[in-house]
Amino acid sequence: MDHDKEEKSSSLFSTGNSAQEMGFTYVPQRYVVPTLQRPSLAPNDANVAVIDIAALRNNNGLSAENRFRVIQEISDACRSLGFFQIVNHGISESVLEGAISVASKFFDLPTKEKLKLGSSDVRKPVRYATSLKNGVDKHQFWRVFLKHYAHPLNDWIHMWPDNPPDYREKMGRYCEEIKKVSLEVMEAILESLKLKASTTPALTKKLEDGMQVMAVNCYPPCPEPAMALGLPPHSDYSCLTIVYQNCQGLEIMDSTTCSWKLVPHVPYALQVHIGDHFEVLSNGLFKSVVHRATLHRDRTRFSIVSLFSLGMDDKMGVAAELIDDDDDDHEHPKKYRESSFRDFLDFLASNDIAQGKNFIDTLKIEKNN
């Protein structure tokens, strides 16, 4: 096979004709990660908190004490890694398995069927695509995905795939359940910041009414998993991201050691990422976790990613309680500009995150020397 000749075709990497969709037995040059950025085939496991959040829902005599303990555990994780896993979250195994099942069925459909939803427009509320932006970016990644909005569910579900026939039912059930979990966790996070009594309810209501974007990811087997990535290093624009996956493959950056660590697999646990907008809200107290997706040689990895943010045009800024007034000594200056989900989409449409351009960096206010 003449690999060089094949790679001269610009259409080779478009949706429907990508290397990962075509099941190539080699990794084309356009997918190859620079040597220093390649994943290890034997990575170290991350020391990630696994938090039992049942106390956020239980109404018993010890609920206040247990709730305080859980909130403190969440706060500690937000301030260190910006990442943790949760168990006893209230979503049944059947709902979790059902969502993975219909995701698998969708990606098993003929390419022609999936391409009915194909689009490179990052602003489109429902779209099927590959890599990041369908071959527009200079570098390609070993991923296919379906993104769709999910809240309010009745506003969007009719636009979701109707094939497989049970996709809307099972993924819709998962979306409803994960929304409930997200609100429980976000309320705990806001409580840990000790904001004013008037601030938290208003912000909680905005989050309840805000955006829920689903990224249903498929990472097919890769013939050389040490040569490529499913997704490059990035942080999420969201306030909070919750992920359910069928196997290991998510790596997070440990900022204390500046090294990549593999997130251990805990059956039926959910993975919680702090996003850019919660880093902004907290004025940097919380960390928006940098992460990437690695690949397997012999199995397909699925991840169902739920990104939660304020409404499309609602601006997230630093909480006033966490910065000094103008006439103070500025021990805690404002470190971030405000932004919205639409601002992020504009950034994504005009930038290549594979080249190290991160949304959070555009929000940071440089110190005046």
**In angstroms, what CA-CA distances link 216 with 48, 104, 262, 267, 306?**
24, 10, 20, 19, 9
- Among 71-75, 110-114, 192-196, which is the least confidently predicted range? 192-196
Residue 368 lies inside a defined structural domain of this protein: no
Residue 4 lies inside a defined structural domain of this protein: no
Q: Report whether pLDDT(7) > 60.
A: no
Condensed to tens digits (0 to 9), the pLDDT of residues 21-38 reads 999 999 999 999 999 899
Instruction: Say how far apart CA 282 and CA 14 lie, in whole Å.
Output: 40
Condensed to tens digits (0 to 9), the pLDDT of residues 113-123 reads 999 999 988 89
Residues 347-367 as b/e (b if ≥16 CB within 10 A, e otherwise) read bbeeeebbeeebbbeebeeee
Choose among 98, 267, 269, 247: nearest CA to 171.
98
Q: Is the pTM of this model over 0.85?
A: yes
**In angstroms, what CA-CA distances link 21 with 59, 218, 228?**
49, 10, 15
Q: Quote the pLDDT of residue 369.
A: 41
Instruction: Say how far apart CA 309 and CA 359 lie, in whole Å.
Output: 15
Other CB atoms within 10 A of residue 89 CB? 25
Q: Quote the pLDDT of residue 3.
A: 52
Residues 114-130 as b/e (b if ≥16 CB within 10 A, e otherwise) read beebbbbebeeebbbbb
Residue 1 lies inside a defined structural domain of this protein: no
Q: Quote the pLDDT of residue 137.
A: 63
Instruction: Say how far apart CA 226 and CA 27 lie, in whole Å.
Output: 10
- Quote the DSSP letter at residue 314: P
Range list of β-strands (E), 220-265: 231-234, 240-245, 250-254, 259-262
Question: End-to-end CA distance of the chain, in Å?
Answer: 58
Phi–psi pair at 11, nearest 5 degrees: -80, -10
Of 350 and 218, more confident = 218
**Total structural domains in the chain?**
1
| pLDDT band per the 50, 70, 90 thresholds, residue 107 | very high
Helix (H) or strand (E) holding 29: none
Mean pLDDT of all residues in 62-83: 91
Residue 254 lies inside a defined structural domain of this protein: yes
The three-class DSSP label of residue 279 is helix
The three-class DSSP label of residue 336 is strand
Q: Quote the pLDDT of residue 8.
A: 43
Instruction: Say how far apart CA 45 and CA 179 lie, in whole Å.
Output: 29
Residue 246 lies inside a defined structural domain of this protein: yes
Kindly report the CATH number assigned to the domain that includes residue 219. 2.60.120.330
| pLDDT band per the 50, 70, 90 thresholds, residue 350 | confident
Residue pair 226/39 in contact (Cβ under 8 Å)? The answer is: yes
- For the chain, what percent of residues have pLDDT higher than 70? 91
Residue 322: partners with Cβ closer than 8 Å, 6 or more residues away: 193, 282, 283, 285, 332
Of 106 and 138, more confident = 106
Helix (H) or strand (E) holding 127: strand 126-130
Instruction: Say how far apart CA 230 and CA 185 lie, in whole Å.
Output: 27
Q: Report whether pLDDT(105) > 60.
A: yes
Q: Quote the pLDDT of residue 136.
A: 61
Dihedral over alpha carbons 67, 69, 72, 74 (to 10 degrees): -70
Structural tokens at position 203: 């912000």
- Please list the alpha-helical segments (H only) found in 12-144: 19-22, 63-80, 93-107, 111-114
| pLDDT band per the 50, 70, 90 thresholds, residue 288 | very high
Average pLDDT in the chain = 90
Mean pLDDT of all residues in 200-204: 90
Q: Report whether pLDDT(351) > 90.
A: no
Residue 197 lies inside a defined structural domain of this protein: yes
Mean pLDDT of all residues in 81-101: 97
Residue 14: partners with Cβ closer than 8 Å, 6 or more residues away: 130, 134, 135
Residue 171 lies inside a defined structural domain of this protein: yes
Condensed to tens digits (0 to 9), the pLDDT of residues 289-324 reads 999 999 999 999 999 999 999 999 999 999 999 997
Mean pLDDT of all residues in 127-133: 83
Q: How far is CA 355 from the centre of its chain?
A: 19
Instruction: Say how far apart CA 351 and CA 347 lie, in whole Å.
Output: 6
What radius of gyration do the chain's Cα atoms show? 21
Q: Quote the pLDDT of residue 361.
A: 93
Residue 71 lies inside a defined structural domain of this protein: yes
Domain assignment of residue 274, given as a range: 14-363
Mean pLDDT of all residues in 336-343: 95
